[in-house]
Amino acid sequence: MKILLNGEAFATDAKTLDELCARLGFAEAKIATAVNGNFVAALKRSTTKLAPADEIEIVAPRQGG
């Protein structure tokens, strides 16, 4: 299945957002997520099913002004 991960085309067979994060090595990482423009809380990642063409954002802390 093809999705858009952080703005770039990405192929995955992960079924849920939680699974996708784990496969990317983010299982223990300090990240936050959104699907199709809407925030998805960490606790809801395991019940958030992925569908083709989903737009996934995975963000982390960064320098800011």
> Which residues are within 8 A (CB) of 59 and not within 5 positions of it... i.e. 6 or more apart?
31, 32, 33, 34
Which one of 1, 27, 39, 49 is in contact with other proteins (CB under 8 A)?
A: 39
Shorter beta-carbon distance to other proteins: residue 9 or 60:
60
Which one of 37, 45, 48, 53 is in contact with other proteins (CB under 8 A)?
A: 37
Which one of 9, 11, 13, 41 is in contact with other proteins (CB under 8 A)?
A: 41
Question: Cα–Cα distance between 26 and 52 in angstroms, integer?
Answer: 21
Binding flag, residue 48, other proteins (CB under 8 A) = no
Both tokens of 61, joined, read: 């802390």
